[in-house]
Structure 1
């Protein structure tokens, strides 16, 4: 018996880029395409086209490829389809926005960043998209989604001293972003960093800011708990289902149904209904995130995490990653109450997938002394294993932020190795 699946996407993307306080690029791109999977028994063929008038040709090509393919003993056909009732994933204002209107958002970021004559370079970006996704498999369904992301990268200079600051917002609706905050906060951070210092090498308590949470929490869900990585033995979480890997107050979930979430969608890219998946529950690793292939391989249901573009077969990615930490929430003052510690605002590095070791450079960070944020930091490296990160999380803030689909408060880690002077 032959099964076929047609995955169609069409939409447009507006991107605006500014450098040194002036818009350098403003463009609109429209796209459409269809990816076709044909499955016969244990064989699969895939083909895609950018001409929606040639889908039947693509089906025939996929069938030819299928016939010529080798059997895959773990292939078990297409999944059953469904649709979660989600809200807040479409904003007509984004769908109808003109390039000139999007450029105005960037101009607002630029103006908001001009808080001092020490601000000498302002770079920022805005990306807006409107995409319609259709999946035709064992059933048929479609959904329209919008997205907006704005970011700023600001340089400050005072004599021979220079520094950077950065900030970002993203979401499904125009109201989820604040250009004045993104510009003003990045400039403020740049000014705060002008007096950056090096600190002595040693072990410090560290507060992980939500801006850097995608490198920690996002990596845990999207990469370490990715079923393909686990099944292939590439992840440090391979073989650890049911094992305690963090303190019992810590839970991390993947949830594709959160209202207005960046990763929210009614169905994944195989048409499987999204859901809430407890990845880590009370410190115990409970579940990987799956598409249908990895789920069928283990005899379980997909978690609704299939991800793809029309030009490739489904892979796996997180929807929204959410940190929950009951019993260790703290006010801002308590979170910062340390004699000497560090606020890690941003890093460009990610952990090692194979062993969980996370060694990197703090690209934006601040020294905390006697409960107050003091000078910025420069040339400071850090190192911690992700398993230790989950066990040493001693306090979390009460306010959450969403950055790149990771929804988390600030997280205070009791001890992290920092390399300075």
Structure 2
């Protein structure tokens, strides 16, 4: 097996891909080929009740090989072994799979090199690369310090993980790209036991590209405060209420569904509630959403996508108008247009997909607390674990964390409250957007007030 240090060396993969290309060029039946390799160095620590339960380091690397024959027939194989015998095996298996696969007349071509690639900054943090377990224990101590709070914890768990990933992409059209990135994640899950005898749960997390941007103290305090507020819950009467969405709710309830619904594969298969609304008004004029892959130091910053195509900023929603969908080379080929750099892969062994980069929502003119102060009676919506119907846009789900707003103040937490609204209606009911915005993973989002939504309380 190759020395693991070589897995992060671009020269090693350039040499490997050149060797594989020479082998593939000998076979007349192969019309196109693509090699995608990823290498990952990961450290993970999980903890319970203030003690480290498990800790491990893992280095992994592998390559996926796609072979395309006549009429779009495709064979895909992969390996985590770069030895000569393993390479010969995946080439042989890929050719067999290509020959017996179904014809795909919709396939036009693999990705072609872009004319310009924007260099991106601060996506690799050597401090994360050099972390040791003793340093990580010091980093997560603020989570353990929650045990010192006035109300004792009923349970405490979570994990810390860091990752260094390198990606190498090469294809027969001349794509040849590589990039090295870092990421770090911390999460905290706790529960408190109140006078009622029933536990109340709280959670929080943060993911960043740089260790310096991680605030473990903030994650710990947010998880505790969520659980603390939940010790005193009330039911609300069913009805229509103004709803103030926290940035977390905006990210997962408004923005994330948009990023999934503008997936061109879903649109082409009539599986998206936004598929028939391109260049139409879908929201209020104050609603703008941009996908920007070039913001320094952010999780989804990259100079190219998972096919090696240059990334570029695009406007998804411009003053309420839906302007674009996400494409990879295959879905773009179906429509006879160029891909806009949104190809994705979850793993070197996975098939090609589509996903977003950094998502930036427009800011408003009022501070979020000023928006809150103007709500006499309403709902503060923070998080739901439920997802909308991406075909219809309908959403009906449990507000896992949310509170009643009374006379401009957030008061008691909600018990078993449901929110119901169609997302197209929600975009039109955006009444106010806050001046402040914060990062939730790869989304930069404000507080948003909806004029109304149906809230169903427990009977």
Write the deviation string for residues 322-343 of structure 1: whole angstroms up to 9, x where unpaired: 2125xx4311232202001111
Matches within 5 A, 1:174-193: 174-193=211-230
Q: Give the total of aligned pairs.
A: 419
SS in 2 for 1:12: strand
Q: Give TM-score, length-normalised by structure 2.
A: 0.87
The residue correspondences of 1:106-125 to structure 2 (distance < 5 A) are 106-112=140-146, 114-125=148-159
Unaligned runs of 5+ in 1: none
1:46 aligns with 2:85: no
The residue that corresponds to 1:132 in the other structure is 166
Paired residue for 1:311?
349
State the shift of 1:390 in Å.
0.8
**Structure 2 match to 1:200:** 237
The CA distance in 2 between the partners of 1:356 and 1:163, in whole Å, is 31
Task: Write 1 or 2 for the structure with the bigger share of strand.
Answer: 1
Counterpart-to-counterpart distance in 2, 1:331 and 1:263: 27
RMSD: 1.7
Aligned with residue 60 of structure 2, among 9, 24, 31: 31
- Farther off after superposition, 330-339 or 103-112: 103-112
Matched with 2:430 is 393
Deviates more, 1:160-169 or 1:55-64: 55-64
- Paired residue secondary structure (1:84): coil
Which among 101, 122, 125 is matched to residue 69 of structure 1?
A: 101
Once residues 114 and 251 of structure 1 are traced to their aligned partners in structure 2, the CA distance between those partners, rounded to angstroms, is 44
Note if 1:271 corresponds to 2:301: no
Once the two structures are TM-superposed, the CA of residue 113 in structure 1 deviates from its matched residue by 6.3
Task: Flag the 1:264–1:113 CA change in 2: closer, same or farther, 3 A.
Answer: farther
Matched, 1:418 2:445: no
Find out whether 1:363 has 2:395 as its counterpart: no
**Equivalent residue, structure 1, for 2:110:** 78
Do residues 321 (structure 1) and 359 (structure 2) align? yes
Q: Deviations over 1:44-77 (max 9, x none)?
A: 2211111122335323432332222222111111
- Give the whole-Å Cα distance in 1 for the aligned partners of 2:426 and 2:176: 43
Distance 1:265 1:37 in 2: 23
Tell me, in whole angstroms, the C-alpha distance in 2 between the residues paired with 1:56 and 1:274.
33
Aligned positions of 1:119-268 closer than 5 A: 119-137=153-171, 138-160=174-196, 161-268=198-305
- Mark the CA change 1:114 to 1:377 in structure 2 (over 3 Å): closer, same or farther: farther
8 Å CA contact 2:111, 2:175 repeated in 1 = no
Distance (Å, rounded) in 2 between the aligned partners of 1:4 and 1:221 = 33
Name the residue aligned to 2:7: none
> 1:331-357, CA deviations, whole angstroms, 9 ceiling, x for partnerless residues?
123220200111111111111111111
Please give the alpha-carbon distance, in whole angstroms, between the structure 2 residues aligned to 1:61 and 1:255: 39
Greater Cα offset, 290-299 or 50-59: 50-59
Q: Which residue of 2 aligns with 1:104?
A: 138
Which runs of 5 or more residues in structure 2 are unaligned? Answer: 1-29
Determine if contact 1:20/1:122 at 8 Å carries over to the other structure: yes
**CA distance 1:274–1:17, shift in 2 (3 Å):** same
* Consecutive aligned runs of 4 or more in structure 1 exceeding 6 Å deviation: none
Out of 118-127 and 230-239, give the one that drifted further: 118-127
Distance across 1 between alignment mates of 2:280 and 2:307: 30
Query: Please, what TM-score do these two structures have when normalized by structure 1?
Result: 0.95
